[in-house]
Structure 1
Amino acid sequence: MIRAVMVINTQGKPRLAKFYDIQAVEKQRELIRNVYGVLCSRAENVSNFIEAESFFGPDSRIVYKHFATLYFVFVFDSSENELAMLDLIQVFVETLDKCFKNVCELDMVFNYSKMHTVLDEIILGGQVLETNSTEVMKAVEEISRLETASNAISLVPKSVSSWRSR
């Protein structure tokens, strides 16, 4: 099971933090600080896999990937494969790239809800749902289309909509 997904910038600010097991907010902040502390102190030429038992309890591991100014981090238990999690990070980043045309940190800051939508199409409740970025993009586009249609309907004045029903 995936326990958490984090995107942290190189200054230690979380741009996304989603925990799939219940944690108090202060505990989440502490975990993010601890993970960032480990990531920023690691050399570039070492493995992207870390044992995380001291932070997340027994049977916990971290896989991360560093892109530009962002660390993409997945925390999971032994029921998941490290290489599969590394590939899942790649799927997440590729999908964000398709969504935002070469994703950057500002896209994540200003499109927070869309980023969560993408993540929810890939992982839900700590379980992997979809690993094909094309399928994820289809679902995200459909959700965006439905939200746009819903917003357009809600913008129609009530007097106009009541006139149409006569």
Structure 2
Amino acid sequence: MIKGVLIMNDQGKPRLVKFYEFQPPEKQQELIRSIYRILCSRAENVSNFVKVDTLLGPDVRMVYKTFATLYFVFIFDNSENELAMLDLMQVFVETLDKCFSNVCELDIVFNFNKVHTILDEIILGGQVLETNSSEVVRAIEDISKLEKNGSSIIPSIAAWQGR
């Protein structure tokens, strides 16, 4: 099961935090700081797989990848395959790139709702739903169309009711 997904910049500021098991806010902040300390202290030529049982309990692992100035971090238990998580991370980044045409930190900051929706189309409740970035993009486009149409339906209903 996937325990959490984090995106943080190279200075440790979280840009997306999604835990699939309840963590009190204080614990989340502590975990984010600890994970950042681990990431920034690692050499560039080492594996992207990290065992984090001391932080999150036994059999919990973490995989991360750096894209531009952002760390993408997936936390998961040993029921998930490390390489599959790395691949899933790539799907997430590819989807973000397709939705924002070359995603950057500001896209994530100013479009956090869309980023969360994209993540929810890929992972829900710690379980993988979709691994095809084209399907995720199609679902996001459908959601955007519904949101646009939904805002135009409300005045129509009000006009229909004679208001």
Could you tell me how far apart the structure 2 residues matched to 1:130 and 1:29 are?
A: 29
The aligned residue for residue 53 of structure 2 is 53
Gaps of 5+ in 1: none
Q: What is the rounded CA distance, in whole Å, between the counterparts of 1:155 and 1:40 in structure 2?
A: 51
The residue that corresponds to 1:161 in the other structure is 160
Q: Which amino acid aligns with 2:109?
A: V
> Residue 161 of structure 2 aligns to a residue in which SS?
helix
The equivalent of 2:10 in structure 1 is 10
Aligned counterparts of 1:117 and 1:148: Cα–Cα separation in 2: 16
**2:135 — aligned with what?**
135
Determine helix, strand or coil for the equivalent of 1:23: coil
Per-residue CA deviation, residues 115-153 of structure 1 (Å, 9 max, x unaligned), is 001000000000000000011111111111111111122
Say how many residue pairs are matched: 163
Q: Distance in 2 between the 1:100 and 1:120 partners?
A: 17
Secondary structure of the residue that 1:80 maps to in structure 2?
coil
The residue that corresponds to 1:111 in the other structure is 111
What TM-score comes out, normalization by structure 1 length? Answer: 0.95
Structure 1: distance between partners of 2:40 and 2:141: 35
Question: Could you give the per-residue CA deviations for residues 58-114 of structure 1, whole angstroms, max 9, x where no partner exists?
Answer: 110000000111000000000000000000000000000000000000000000000
Q: TM-score, normalised by structure 2?
A: 0.97
Residue 131 of structure 1 aligns with an amino acid whose one-letter code is T
SS of corresponding position for 1:146: helix
Question: What is the percent sequence identity of the aligned residues?
Answer: 66
Provide structure 2 residue ranges, at least 5 long, that are not aligned to the other structure: none
- Alpha-carbon distance in structure 2 between the residues aligned to 1:11 and 1:118: 24
Tell me how far apart the structure 2 counterparts of residues 10 and 73 of structure 1 sit (CA, whole Å). 12
The list of structure 1 runs, each at least 4 consecutive aligned residues, that deviate by more than 4 angstroms after superposition, is none
